[in-house]
Structure 1
Amino acid sequence: MDDRKERIYVKVYDHQTEQLASKPMVELMKEMIAAQMPISFEREALKAQAIIVRTFLVRQVKSLGGSGCSQYEDADFCTGGHCGDWISKESLMTLWGSDFHINWTKLEEVVKETGDQIITMNNKPIEPRYHITCGGATENSENVKGNKILYLRKVLCSYCNNSPYWKQTVEMTIEEIEEKLKIKMSETSSIEGPWIQGMVENVERDEDGRIIEMKISGTTFKGTDLVALLGLDSTRFGWKPISFKFEIGGKGDGLGLCQYGANAMAREGKDAEEILNYYFTGVSIKEFEKRSINMPLSGKIIVLDPGHGGDNSEDNEGPTGVREKDVNLAISSSLAEILRKAGAEVYETRTEDVYVSLGKRAALANKIRPNFFLSIHQNAFANPNISGSEVYHYRGDRDGETLGNLILKELAQSLGTAERGVKIADFYLLREVRTTALQIEVAFITNPEEEQKLQDQVSRKDAAEAIGKALIKYYSYE
């Protein structure tokens, strides 16, 4: 684990002392895992919970771009339950007694073995929901939270069938139900009684309220037969339950990780990442990074590729003669300066009007192995009315698709271009560059209005800034 990340501290509001204190994130993680999952669970299940806890904290800690505690303005986390389950190390010493050292060592190992992993979608940490037992299937987010969340999708789960919470019963009197729900059920009457699906149904009475016939548990009885069989004095009778027995499957809201299911999967040999990918749909497990506010792209490597160039460029040309190769180079040069100021290490396939073959461009990228290869282009079409921005990525490249959407939004906002979409293509560079590669078609140089923008130095810098903002947003947890 990176020593720098070992020094990440969480501002914790302690309800007992009513004070704000800093606690190492790795220490807080151990206390949270202990409170959230039985220490007797399999190591890979505990590792899955560790990744969930770390994901939660990355979303919370303000120095990492998190939102902080909702109850206490200066805190990242509070111990009063608003920020999730937590138990102090001192309380665990009492709770575990002679087993404390063994259990605490186990927690230290699962935290260390998960490195700096968090659960992400579109390079953002997800809301890492979990529950004790799903009872056969997890739940869709819209049925709990009211809105659809792509990674909180229902999955079938029989792994938790050995959980003590798989099936439970709870009995409650009518009086208890009335008190809890703040309602009043009808009083008992000799001429009425509630229908109860599967038990009491299809009740037929005469004009005086006497039972002609009724169905009980699927069997139809005449009123006179019920009087004889039940020893009642009259067919003029009603009923009222005095208690209910609730049959319950599972424990919790059903969102995200099923903990007892995770434990059973671990017993079958599944690792933490497999477990998390089963319960969270379409996510990626990645290492988080603590970034400087002033240098948000520190440690990132970007290769910029201004398309075309030289006498053999075969570039597009606008109605008034603006050359695509010149626009590409101007945008790329401005973008390189922006990215370097943000801390990125930037390489350029060309810095002047020269021809560089596609093979050499790909070879440079594959030697450097950057985080992103960005090829800057301008679009063209026979119809001069066609306009807008497009981004292309290679099929299956989810990171490229995510960044592409961010770039389109920023270009539209900065240049006023239409978002024509992020599309899949089999272009040479997208195919041959062995890292995430994008071809950015900033605008249509054959459209008179967009050609005029591309000719303007300010607009070229605006385009570069838009792409730079998109990259910074991609690497931001906010």
Structure 2
Amino acid sequence: MNNSVELYIKVYDVLNKEVKQMELEELIKELVAATMPLTFHIESLKSQAVIMRTNIMRQMKIYGGKGVGKGIGADISTDYYPNLMPLESYNEVWGKDYFNNLEILNRVTEETEAQVIFLQDKLIEARFHPVCGGSTENSENVDGNIVNYLRKVLCNYCKEAVYYKEYKDITLDEIEKKLGVRFIKTLPIKNMAIEEMFDNITRDEEGRVVKLSIAGKEFSGKEVMELLELNSTRFSWRPEKIRFYTRGKGDGLGLCLYGSNEMACRGKKYDEIIKYYYTGVSIEKIEKVSINCPLKGKDIVIDPGHGGDNCSDYRSSTGHREKDICLDICNLLKESLESLGAKVYMTRSEDVNVPLSERAYYANKIQPQFFLTIHQNYYSEPSISGAEIYYYRGDIEAMLLGQKIMEQINNRVGLINRGVRPADFYLLRDVKVSSLHIELGYLSNDNDLKLLTDDMTKKDLAESIAKGLLSYYL
């Protein structure tokens, strides 16, 4: 029985300023179409599918990526892929080849299903460019950092590519504007050196050209005046356009797209192409998210607040103690998260005192994806009720998770939403991973107390936190 589910990715649409969900393989088809001509050899297209899948999954939160950040709550943003568009939009572009190209894309994704590129158990940043022009480049010469799999390799496969040799004419005005420079203004008695064209220039005291070399041949100033029909031997020169000659296109890092196509045409398979351009890598199938274990690979530290005989926890008018309710809910939360595949650690599993410094040390040693400390609140005015969640200032991912959890608590249990906001609590400050301080109700409020002392509601609260984590990742 197949317990895996289709993998969805959260995409931030910059144009419409909204987050939408896409099935991953459909996105891969769009990315291949946007980055390679579909006239390329099928093995070259398959290598690009593996590359794009690697780069996308490297960003996904469910696989340990950072996503877009900035509080957007998406895995990728369309501003990184300006040519991306839905496959149906290619109907006019491809014309009669539309359905054939769709079949090609289906084959490309099916024959590389779930395959990504690893180096030592980590997804690589699979850089690529259109044409390398004879060799790819070492990463430190482009970005300044040594990346073991982005090493220079010779590439004679792109010699026939459209971008292999080109030139571009740019006026001096454009160069000045774009580079922020100023060339010397031309005067008839001033020299402008143009290497291997005009050199060895001799002028008299009045600025007249006595002699000079042009392209290695010596002329007198008078000869040049007569041969070029100039008005005077007081002359100078200044190009109005510069022609820049280029070989290749792109920064030269990683895979050469046109080179990969030629390799495929010569009989190389997509895995051979990838391993040629990325040094020392392996291609493996990444484990899909499981229906039964969607949080597999995630480490969570749960911290039941307070504990021990002499702790400073809150007590209700009925004698119920915060430390006991916290431990009950955290035990249930541990069971719920473990059932979803997460690996869960508890700072305490019984009624003992654990100093805050030890709790922080324990969490920092484990380095989980999230640290959750659970508490209840108390206030002198018994009408105050509800749940509050705190995160350390600047911790955007914790804020996003807090919002997901609060939404679940409010909908599932009915506790009033009193907000998700920043705080400077000791554990939020000293635990060096994304952390939340969760206050589940007020022991001073009769309605909250009734919920917090009910076994079914405790389970619902634990389930709410677990579902919030699930929603954050999926």
Task: Give 3-state SS (helix, strand or coil) of 1:162's partner.
Answer: coil
User: Shift of residue 244 of structure 1?
Assistant: 1.3
Q: Is the 8 A contact 2:165 2:245 kept in 1?
A: yes
**CA–CA distance in 1 between the matches of 2:98 and 2:8?**
24
Q: Corresponding residue for 1:130? A: 128
Q: Corresponding residue for 1:38? A: 37
Q: How does 1:149-228 map to 2 (within 5 A)?
A: 149-228=147-226
Q: Corresponding residue for 1:22? A: 21
**CA–CA distance in 2 between the matches of 1:297 and 1:139?**
36
Residue correspondences, number = 302
**CA–CA distance in 2 between the matches of 1:192 and 1:259?**
48
Q: Is the 8 A contact 2:12 2:72 kept in 1?
A: no
User: Shift of residue 38 of structure 1?
Assistant: 0.6
Q: Is the 8 A contact 1:6 1:24 kept in 2?
A: no
Q: Corresponding residue for 2:410? A: none
User: Shift of residue 266 of structure 1?
Assistant: 0.6
Structure 2 CA distance for partners of 1:85 and 1:283, relative to 1, 3 Å: farther
Q: Corresponding residue for 2:348? A: none
1:10-52 per-position Cα deviation (integer Å, ceiling 9, x unaligned): 0112234432221110111101110011111100000010010
Normalising by structure 2, we get a TM-score of 0.59
Q: Is the 8 A contact 1:77 1:83 kept in 2?
A: no
**CA–CA distance in 1 between the matches of 2:70 and 2:264?**
36
Greater shift, 59-68 or 220-229, is seen at 220-229
Q: Is the 8 A contact 1:56 1:127 kept in 2?
A: yes
1:331-355 per-position Cα deviation (integer Å, ceiling 9, x unaligned): xxxxxxxxxxx999xxxxxxxxxxx
Q: Corresponding residue for 1:110? A: 108
**CA–CA distance in 2 between the matches of 1:3 and 1:61?**
23
Code of the residue aligned with 2:129 in structure 1: it is H
Q: Corresponding residue for 1:101? A: 99
User: Shift of residue 214 of structure 1?
Assistant: 2.3
User: Shift of residue 161 of structure 1?
Assistant: 1.2
Q: How does 1:398-437 map to 2 (within 5 A)?
A: none
Greater shift, 175-184 or 25-34, is seen at 175-184
Task: Give 3-state SS (helix, strand or coil) of 1:170's partner.
Answer: strand
Structure 2 CA distance for partners of 1:78 and 1:294, relative to 1, 3 Å: closer
**CA–CA distance in 2 between the matches of 1:50 and 1:17?**
26
Code of the residue aligned with 1:101 in structure 2: it is F
Q: Corresponding residue for 2:270? A: 272
Task: Give 3-state SS (helix, strand or coil) of 1:161's partner.
Answer: coil
Structure 2 CA distance for partners of 1:285 and 1:161, relative to 1, 3 Å: same
**CA–CA distance in 2 between the matches of 1:248 and 1:274?**
29
* Mapped pair 1:67 → 2:66: yes
- Alignment partner for residue 119 of structure 2, among 95, 115, 121? 121
Counting aligned pairs with the same residue, the percent is: 43
Structure 2 CA distance for partners of 1:170 and 1:3, relative to 1, 3 Å: farther
**CA–CA distance in 1 between the matches of 2:277 and 2:82?**
20
Structure 2, unmatched stretches of 5+, are: 300-340, 344-364, 367-474
Code of the residue aligned with 2:235 in structure 1: it is F
Q: Corresponding residue for 1:55? A: 54
User: Shift of residue 84 of structure 1?
Assistant: 6.3
Structure 1, unmatched stretches of 5+, are: 299-341, 345-412, 415-478
1:32-86 per-position Cα deviation (integer Å, ceiling 9, x unaligned): 110011111100000010010010011111111112125663001222x225642
Code of the residue aligned with 2:100 in structure 1: it is I
**CA–CA distance in 1 between the matches of 2:45 and 2:8?**
22
Taking only aligned residues, the RMSD between alpha carbons, in angstroms, comes to 2.7
Q: Corresponding residue for 2:146? A: 148
Q: How does 1:269-308 map to 2 (within 5 A)?
A: 269-290=267-288, 295-296=296-297
